[in-house]
Structure 1
């Protein structure tokens, strides 16, 4: 989701939440996902239009009752600690909350859910159910852990949150879908051919760089978790293993030029030392670089 779509979502959420601006976390996550840390939500009434994002909320404390009217149907429930609320994208409804609550939120993008559906062998647009202060201990625990990571400031918090968001999507698909979503039956699909080509091209153009998995995942708009799983399905290799093969393949070509020292070739293809390059080369080729060159 671009900045304009996020701005549109947060404007409506601000109106939905008593006119108070939600404290959106500046950091963006894969699959068009943004987060809001724990905050206090005032009583309100608001006719919420159809949005581009799914909105997931966890309630930590609160009073009163919340309700949403969709056509002639009204969903209503008292605010209680440990509950979750969920509003699917593309649906509109009139919301009324008569008490203050303490919540955290996730704006979950469509592409993230489609990636999850693809991974569980479905791949269709999920038909998710609206929930108001609904009991789902697993989903509430996931949201609590996400909120904890937001405030931790730890170096690996971003990656940890990415995994938690994937779990949240899977739980929504499993427990909050209008139709049952199979978790294991049917073939699971990996990356498409064009996605493998894009990743491989990027690897070949940046062999000397310290390529991170998240960089590769971003090329095909997947979370790190989904990317690693889908990549292995498509190629039979981990992303790191595939990168190693690209490096060694280029090294074999460079070894034909006897003016290049082996240490120079090692640096060109992304190894900091000749010894690490030789060990990797031998593991893939069955010969050391020197032995391979002598046989050319």
Structure 2
């Protein structure tokens, strides 16, 4: 394999095969590690060449099937909340993602990975494992926190938090997704992929309407009780939390259109009052809808 210097800068490499470039935050962290806030891109069917540094991804919104083919090896999963994908430095292959997804990225330098690994394995070389839609709620949650504060990392307090959270993420990667230690894939539980897609698709199509558990359970062919349990096992989220995330994701898209009043956007994503919409939006994003629009 060639040296890291021969590989392309990861955000640029991704920009060449995606329908938009990753919105990398301006602030570079220790070891030239970079972050993105949550964002989204469309389906993908293309070959990705080896990149400089490691790319770590977590997911938001409706799940999609995802496949990474490296030679004769095939890694497959789904872009569910609570899962991560790891593209180690220099690894290449063909990617197929069935539809649009919400993501956030950590572009991790090998320098920073090695520094953290040294404290765990006595300085022996460490290599990350390739992962696709791999269930790791710990790493995914840390990445959600990093995505939330990515743009604020120029503030000293926020930067301290982000640096320490990044160290925590790297420690989890070394102990669970590397040649040092590996988490075993969990046994498959809960809803099948088609059931998750059907329920999530129905939610997305009816965001402006009240949606009850009984109608969602009927789509999956389960009782209300068994549906709630199976949905959480499959996605790591309750049906209500999943629906709220879809509503806020759609609201973020609509807020990019300045001609749309916030009140109209609230109604379009299922909130009867601007106050209930603002409370839900702030809980997910950390800012009010108006403040979010001002940042665009």
- 1:9 equivalenced with 2:10 (yes/no): yes
* CA distance 1:123–1:73, shift in 2 (3 Å): same
Q: Secondary structure at the match of 1:37?
A: coil
* CA distance 1:122–1:19, shift in 2 (3 Å): farther
CA contact (8 A) 2:8 2:52 kept: no
* Aligned-residue CA RMSD (Å): 2.1
Alpha-carbon separation, structure 2, partners of 1:65 and 1:113: 29
Alpha-carbon separation, structure 1, partners of 2:179 and 2:151: 34
Aligned twin of 2:90: 90
Deviation at 1:99, TM superposition (A): 1.1
Alpha-carbon separation, structure 2, partners of 1:115 and 1:86: 18
Aligned twin of 2:174: 173
- 1:126 equivalenced with 2:126 (yes/no): yes
Deviation at 1:5, TM superposition (A): 8.6
* CA distance 1:88–1:7, shift in 2 (3 Å): closer
Aligned twin of 2:186: none
Aligned twin of 2:19: 19
CA contact (8 A) 1:44 1:97 kept: yes
* CA distance 1:91–1:73, shift in 2 (3 Å): same
TM-score by length of 1: 0.56
- 1:109 equivalenced with 2:109 (yes/no): yes
Aligned twin of 2:210: none
Residues 189-200 of structure 1 mapped to structure 2, 5 A cutoff: none
Aligned twin of 1:28: 28
Q: Secondary structure at the match of 1:31?
A: helix
**For each residue in 1:181-228, what CA deviation from the matched residue of structure 2 results, as whole angstroms up to 9, or x when unmatched?**
8xxxxxxxxxxxxxxxxxxxxxxxxxxxxxxxxxxxxxxxxxxxxxxx
Aligned twin of 1:80: 80
| Residue range with higher mean Cα deviation, 128-137 or 59-68 | 59-68
Deviation at 1:179, TM superposition (A): 4.1
* CA distance 1:32–1:151, shift in 2 (3 Å): closer
Alpha-carbon separation, structure 2, partners of 1:118 and 1:98: 38
Which structure has the greater CA radius of gyration? 1
Q: Secondary structure at the match of 1:94?
A: strand
Residues 222-241 of structure 1 mapped to structure 2, 5 A cutoff: none
CA contact (8 A) 2:84 2:134 kept: yes
Q: Secondary structure at the match of 1:58?
A: strand
Unaligned residue ranges in structure 1 (runs of 5+): 182-296
CA contact (8 A) 2:58 2:104 kept: yes
Deviation at 1:7, TM superposition (A): 7.2
* CA distance 1:152–1:24, shift in 2 (3 Å): closer
Deviation at 1:6, TM superposition (A): 9.9
Aligned residue pairs: how many? 177
CA contact (8 A) 1:55 1:89 kept: yes
Alpha-carbon separation, structure 1, partners of 2:123 and 2:70: 27
CA contact (8 A) 2:60 2:80 kept: yes
CA contact (8 A) 2:7 2:51 kept: no
